[in-house]
Structure 1
Amino acid sequence: MKPTKKQTIAIAAIVLSGAALAAFILRPGAQTTAPQETAHGEKHGAAEPADHAEEVQQATFSEAQIKTAAITLAAAGPAPIVPAIALAGEIRYDGDRTAHVVPRLAGMVESVNAELGQQVKKGQVLAVLSSRELSDLRSELLSARQRQSLAQTLLARERKLWEERISAEQDYLQAQQHANEAGIAARNAQQKLDALGAGALPGSGPLNRYEVRAPFDGTVLEKHIAAGEAVKEDANIFTLSDLSSVWAEFAVTAPHLDTVRVGQPASVQSVSSGASAIGTVAYVGALLGEQTRAATARIRLKNPGAAWRPGLFVNVSVFPPAANGSTAAVAVAVRSSAVHTLDGKAAVFVRTPSGFAARTVTLGRSDGKLVEVLSGLAAGTQYAADGSFAIKAELGKSGNEHAH
């Protein structure tokens, strides 16, 4: 069917409009696609930065605050480092300050005054026992003292009679011998009680009451006693340890036996928390284990706040003397005290105009005082060397504020 005049005009208008639109689209410099917003308000099609900067943790510190916090600054740079010997270890009780408490007398337990994990003082009563043996020993002491008193009285009487020429000298000498023997018996009975820690006689209490006391200040690690049970004189009823110092015990393998020596500096780092401490090698065993073929060595560590818990796995770094010729020159190094663990990564606090910023770094060799920085920090960069824990604490507070 032949189109009408109106249809012909409409078709022509559509063709012309399409041609005009195509010419506009193909015009040089024309934008082909308009930015579209996503549901989150982001625009697609706009240019994005070539790289995305990692979020940097920053702490604001004025000069006065830096001085108050005793923060010292240093510059990262080249330094000689003696590579450390890395060994695996574990925190253990200080064997010189750990004791198995035994009652030293058999008896029935009347009461227990200490619990697991409790801090106790030297001389504090841990448990009270009722002991028939102790009653016999105290009765023996009382009898010996009475015999000694009577012997002294008789000796004084015989001395007076002999001096007045009433009795013979033989009677006086015999009384003196009896007094000496009574004194020896009394001292012997007293020393038996002293050896058991029960030397003081009760004023009016029962003679069979025996108090088990703490031999030194420490923490109750084990408890094997309960009220109402019978215990033997050699039973291990408590294990007590002074946790103000601990041992970092590690195995020295055969290749390092000639290098690790008593007195060498070493660092200990917790595998779980990253906490570290500096000490010296206090002992290296002379024998090798049959299974490990390694010698046992240990480092004594001070343990304020009981931060080093026995059973904690640690990494031990022993630093041999520089005289052995193993010193290495590294391009960038910082002090070991400046390195912290943030979000599971090693970080150093670098100086900024407003304070400090945490810079993630990759570490290399260390000698306990200095540590090599493989990446993340350029030579000449100023950083917080000492006192940097104050910066970490400030970052922790800032993180909590953001969290709330």
Structure 2
Amino acid sequence: MKRRSRLSGWWIFLLLVVAAGIGWALVTRPWEPKPTLVAIETVTAGPASRVLAVNGRVEPEKKVEISSTVNGRVATVPVIEGDEVAAGEPLLTVDDTQQRATVSQANSQLDAAQSQIQQAQLNLDRAVALGDSISQKQVDDLRFAVETAQKEADRLAALVQQTQDLLDEYVVRAPFSGSVLSRGADPGQVVSSSTSLFLFADLSSLLGEASVDELYASEVRRGLPVKARPAGHAQIIDGEVSYISPRVDSSTGGRLVRVTLPGGGDLDLPVGLTVTLNIIVEQRDDAVTIPRSALADIEEPAVYVIEAGKAVLKPVQYIDWPSDRLIVLQGLANGETLIVDGKAVKAEGALVAARE
């Protein structure tokens, strides 16, 4: 009797297990294919921009390398790196002892020539005063002597001016108001016209300078707006493209672009500081954009959308651009459900469902 009761209990337990398995199967339907859970977004047209982001360096709009036009030994250097200097102020002097002697000698010769003019003119005046008592040839000779003395004095005056101008060259002056970026000479050093003495710049007007890859350089034009952000600064500077190099650097494949940085001088941005330049190449008021990840892993450009629980492949035309989102020109309409990760779909027609 106890054995029959024990067997009945096992049968009841077994029936319960079978019933639970049948219930689970009816609910989960393991024999049916399960949809792949995917991230989605609803296609919506709106304002969009194509932005080319490049890193560049802060550079002064006006920068020159200064050297001396004369050879010699440096006498004084009254400035150091970082000094602000007004236009015309001395930056460096070369020992001018010998040149000053040359100027002094030229002045002495000019003084002597002017004395000769005075004497020749006096002789001529006396001869003219004698009237007919002196021959015309003698008068003409005296007049010629005055003219000769005047020509010699004129020549020596030009020589004095030339030697004085050369003496002025022994003082290297600031070509405009600006700052000393670097100094390449010290007192006692012998310099020549090939010696770089100073790197000098006007830091009140700055530029952002960058190299743009040749793949996208043709899209950049003068006047395009730019959002510039210097490294270490939260402030965004609104600038514009002011210069595009007419050539591509064959060694780097880049094209030089310069961007104005209005007010950059007020921020005391150092030359060479990294600056991110976001060049706004195009702005659209009503454009469809998709994440780059939505592109299907096939040769032709296409994306997947969800229709009736299935992945439907849609060919698209888009503007290829180095950004996370792409502007779609054809192939998608407002309201469609786009699968964000196109590579997650194995094939068209696969069952898919939105991931919550």
TM-score normalised to the size of structure 2?
0.58
In the other structure, the counterpart of 2:229 is: 269
Q: For the Cα contact (< 8 Å) 1:148–1:186, is it kept in 2? A: no
Whether 2:102 is the aligned partner of 1:141: answer: no
Partner of 1:249: 209
2:85 corresponds to 1:125: no
Count, aligned residues: 240
Q: One-letter code of the match for 2:96?
A: S
Report 1:4-403 matches (<5 A). 80=47, 82-94=49-61, 97-161=62-126, 163-164=128-129, 165=131, 167-194=138-165, 197-198=168-169, 210-302=170-262, 303-305=264-266, 307-320=268-281, 326-328=284-286
After the TM superposition, which of the residue ranges 275-284 and 129-138 deviates more from structure 2?
A: 129-138
Question: Are the counterparts in 1 of residues 51 and 282 from structure 2 also a CA contact under 8 Å?
Answer: no
Q: Partner of 1:189: helix, strand, or coil?
A: helix
Distance 1:327 1:291 in 2: 39
Alpha-carbon deviation of 1:183? 1.1
CA distance in 1, matches of 2:46, 2:184: 55
Q: Determine if contact 2:71/2:193 at 8 Å carries over to the other structure.
A: yes
SS in 2 for 1:103: coil
Identity among equivalent pairs (%): 23
SS in structure 1 of the partner of residue 168 of structure 2 = coil
Aligned partners of 1:115 and 1:310: how far apart in 2? 16
Give distance in 2, aligned partners of 1:247 and 1:230.
Answer: 35
RMSD of aligned C-alpha atoms?
Answer: 3.1
Label 1:170 to 1:301 Cα distance change in 2 as closer, same or farther (>3 A).
Answer: farther
- Give the 3-state SS of the residue equivalent to 1:259 in structure 2: coil
1:156-197 CA-to-partner distances (Å, cap 9, x unmatched) read 325524643454223213421331232133224313432553
- The verdict on how the C-alpha distance between 1:327 and 1:193 changes in structure 2, with shifts beyond 3 A counting, is farther
The aligned amino acid for 2:226 is A
SS at match of 2:203: coil
Task: Check whether the contact 1:243–1:306 (CA below 8 A) recurs between aligned residues.
Answer: no
Residue 297 (structure 2) aligns with: none
Counterpart Cα distance in 2 of 1:157 and 1:262: 72
Please give the alpha-carbon distance, in whole angstroms, between the structure 2 residues aligned to 1:155 and 1:297: 68
- Quote the residue 1:335 is aligned against: none
Gap regions ≥5 residues in structure 2 = 1-44, 289-323, 326-356
Give 2:95's aligned amino acid: S
Q: 5+ unaligned residues in a row in structure 1: which ranges?
A: 1-77, 199-209, 331-363, 366-404
Deviation at 1:288, TM superposition (A): 1.0
In the other structure, the counterpart of 2:14 is none
TM value normalised by structure 1: 0.52
Cα distance in 2 for partners of 1:151, 1:261 equals 69
Shift, 1:259, TM fit: 1.8
Amino acid at match of 1:215: P
